[in-house]
Structure 1
Amino acid sequence: MIQMILTGLLCGALLGFVMQRGRFCLTGGFRDMFLTKDNRMFYALLIAIAIQSIGVYTLIHVGVFEFNAGTLPIIAVIIGSFIFGIGIIFAGGCATGTWYRAGEGLIGSWIALAGYMLMAAVMKSGVLLPLDTAVKEVQLENNSIAATLGVNIWILVGIFGLAVGFIVYRTLRKPKVKIPGLKPKRTGLAHILFEKRWHPFVTAILVGLIAILAWPLSVATGRISGLGITTPSANILQYLVTGELSFINWGVFLVLGIFLGSLFAAKMSGEFRFRLPDLRTTIHSFSGGLMMGFGAALAGGCSIGNGLVMTAMMTWQGWISLAFMILGTWTASYFVYVRPRKKAKQTTHAVPA
């Protein structure tokens, strides 16, 4: 138990610190792909996936643990991921983003987190469990992309790694945009850690390395998995309601560590402050949290569990989920951002009769 607590909190704190300081927000990244054609955060995600894929399959190759991709609940993954994508726009952050922004003192993220944990628990052990089970009954036998194509997994990992390397090379060759900033208050390491603006690609490398670290630390406690947010978040609420210790696992301490790491980073960088949302934002945050919990539980993972981890494991679940997550985000972005602007322009240019 002590090992579980310490390693889970440590890994989570590292992730929370890095994501908070690096502003590693996948919700904003997916949204910006649609609204401003800015793909940098998406490319950062691809970097983290590539690094994790190489690292984890190296661990598997040397016998640290075994991995089985299992079957593919195709309908659940598609529907759940699309709903999750819609939810993160209303909530103002994905599952991990909500945890780390809660550590910054953002009350709206606390509200979204409450809805997320509640609905995830309801789906996993509450009144919606029969629905979750029924939708997941539609299964495709093979979830491994390599097995489906009949190729060695390292061929896929190698091709993907080269493709990501080419994208990074092309992106870094573009002219840099200078961002004006205040004169730093600190120097040296303190400036780099708590003041300097982190490049999203540097943040992605660190996230990828932490994702690799999560696997052996988690496996050592009997949990054969890497980073995961939805089930551990539901487990916290399930434990508080039932008092059953079986709900306490390495993942629970991982998500608690994300909060603590983000809190420390926000405090040290001067970015922590309590911010109360207005009524409209409160409603959006809670409803978005509910959609996140429903979608992630149904899809078997969130933007981290599916979008970062299962993609790195080269599974159909991961990549199909990521595609429909992005589609859901774009759909919600249209109705939340684009459509109101179009209506406002039409109203402004309307000529009175």
Structure 2
Amino acid sequence: MILTGLAVGAVLGIVMQRGRFCVTGMLRDIFLQKTWRTTVALFIVISVHALGIAALTSLGVITPSYGNFAPVAVIVGGFIFGLGIILAGGCASGTWFRSAEGLIGSWLALVFYALSAAAMNTGALTWLNGGLSSWETSLTTLPASFGVSAWFFAIPLAIGTALAARHYLATEKKAVRLDVPFWKRPLHLYTAGALVGLIGVIAWPLSAAAGRNSGLGITTPSANIATFITTGDVERLDWGVMLVLGLFIGAFAAARATGEFRLRVPDATTATRAVVGGCMMGVGAALAGGCTVGNGMVQTALFSYQGWIALLFIALGVGAGARIWLKPAATPTPVAEAAPSSAEDRVLPFQVATGAVALQTAPRVKKARPLGEGRYALDQMGAVCPFPLIETKDVLDTLESGEELVIDFDCTQGTETIPQWAANNGHEVTDFHATGDASWQLTVRKG
């Protein structure tokens, strides 16, 4: 039965990679884009999950257990985790599937995430985890506090989420998409959310049948991998470990099949951010009792105090991190570095990923290379998300209406975020095509 975790994880990895499904980006959009459009996808996951878990519990198929709410650990841990995922460039599951796309910076974040979570759970930092987690209350879930069935929360949440999704779908501007076969097209974020929620429902009884009374989870399985590698304790290789390994395999297969895999080596700044962010992710998730999956998708679907309070403080950490670190560069990249001589130069097997940012204290200067006749080129090859979009917005602000910006980038998430932002803000995408494996060129005419 343990191998069912591998199968479920593979399907989850495919869906997340094809849907560009990263909770970091969803929460980040609240602060950077001032919109809840993508965050609705997370609520779709929670709603589907909540309805499914309520049904399985009512039928006696599963018997979830509920831990007491430890407010200090959850609040501190959630906030640290939120800061960490901004630095690392992705949430726990997002780091796994981005690693499968070839982002070596995500590999660094993943390694230090697993090691720090293992240190918190069973290693040198158990004193910190145990100390903060010992301050707990008797609170478990909202249904238990009010003495009602989980259906009283699941149904209203699902209705509210459906109305929000309907609103955003009705007002969503149609964005230009890549002209590729249907099987290479990304999933709509809301479709991916519904599928992730359904996978979460299926995962719970399969996990329980293997002796693990829980559903989807990333932090403890990641920590268990690190513990197994360092100690050889085979008891750590449970259903959850198979899940995250399957997630990587599925995401890798999807990325390879659609031409979205390429090894990309980070520069020193990005690598440092990944290491620090990974450590903060592991410490924060261990304290909070879960990550954006364990807390943000599973515990919220159980309507536990832990899940919803953790999600709130993860979001606040993301907001603080976005304000501190996610700013456009203050100075332009030298032309010699920003403009390779040919398209072939941009599609090397190893691409250097950049994510360096600086406080915008100097007067704004043009960062784009003039092409003549009101056209400019912005090279974002190697820039990790969300920097291609941040720099696109920054440069477009300096252009006149009708002028065009040609953006070269290799951030997979940018294939969705940049054209959708352009459509929502009255700009026209006049050209959008792939230039090689995991590399694209998009031309935006300012509206």
C-alpha distance in structure 2 between counterparts of 1:49 and 1:212, whole Å: 10
Q: TM-score, normalised by structure 1?
A: 0.93
- Give the number of aligned pairs: 339
Q: Which of 300, 304, 307 matches 2:296?
A: 307
Shift of 1:151: 2.5
Q: Which of 37, 40, 62 matches 2:59?
A: 62
Shift of 1:177: 2.4
Deviations 1:127-146 (A, max 9, x none): 11011111101111021111
Alignment partner of 1:39: what SS? coil
C-alpha distance in structure 2 between counterparts of 1:175 and 1:333, whole Å: 24
Which residues of 2 match residues 164-243 of structure 1 at below 5 A?
164-181=161-178, 183-184=179-180, 186=181, 191=182, 193=183, 195-243=184-232
Contact between 2:109 and 2:275, CA under 8 Å: does it hold in 1?
A: yes
- The residue that corresponds to 1:347 in the other structure is 362
C-alpha distance in structure 1 between counterparts of 2:46 and 2:163, whole Å: 15
Q: Which of 15, 20, 23 matches 2:20?
A: 23
Q: Which amino acid aligns with 1:348?
A: P
Specify whether residues 112 and 162 from structure 1 end up closer, same or farther in structure 2 by C-alpha distance, changes over 3 A only.
same
C-alpha distance in structure 1 between counterparts of 2:67 and 2:281, whole Å: 24
Which residues of 2 match residues 199-348 of structure 1 at below 5 A?
199-338=188-327, 345-348=360-363
* 2:85 is equivalent to residue 83 of structure 1: no
Shift of 1:229: 0.4
Q: Which runs of 5+ in 1 are unaligned?
A: none
Q: TM-score, normalised by structure 2?
A: 0.74
- The residue that corresponds to 1:161 in the other structure is 158
Specify whether residues 267 and 315 from structure 1 end up closer, same or farther in structure 2 by C-alpha distance, changes over 3 A only.
same
Alignment partner of 1:173: what SS? helix
Deviations 1:92-129 (A, max 9, x none): 11110011111111100100001101100110111110
Structure with greater Cα Rg = 2
Which structure has more RCO (C-alpha within 8 Å, separation ≥ 6)? 1
Shift of 1:242: 1.3
- The residue that corresponds to 1:46 in the other structure is 43
Structure (1 or 2) with the greater helix fraction = 1
C-alpha distance in structure 1 between counterparts of 2:187 and 2:270, whole Å: 28
C-alpha distance in structure 1 between counterparts of 2:360 and 2:318, whole Å: 23
Q: Which amino acid aligns with 1:305?
A: G
Shift of 1:346: 4.2
Deviations 1:262-317 (A, max 9, x none): 00000000001100000000000011000000000111100000000100111111
C-alpha distance in structure 1 between counterparts of 2:364 and 2:206, whole Å: 60
C-alpha distance in structure 2 between counterparts of 1:297 and 1:339, whole Å: 32
Q: Which amino acid aligns with 2:47?
A: A
Specify whether residues 152 and 272 from structure 1 end up closer, same or farther in structure 2 by C-alpha distance, changes over 3 A only.
same
Alignment partner of 2:313: what SS? helix
- The residue that corresponds to 2:102 in the other structure is 105
Q: Which runs of 5+ in 2 are unaligned?
A: 331-356, 366-447
- The residue that corresponds to 2:415 in the other structure is none
Alignment partner of 2:279: what SS? helix
Q: Which of 5, 28, 35 matches 1:8?
A: 5
Structure 1 runs of 4+ off > 3 angstroms? 338-346
Let me know the Cα RMSD of the aligned residues: 1.7
Structure (1 or 2) with the greater strand fraction = 2
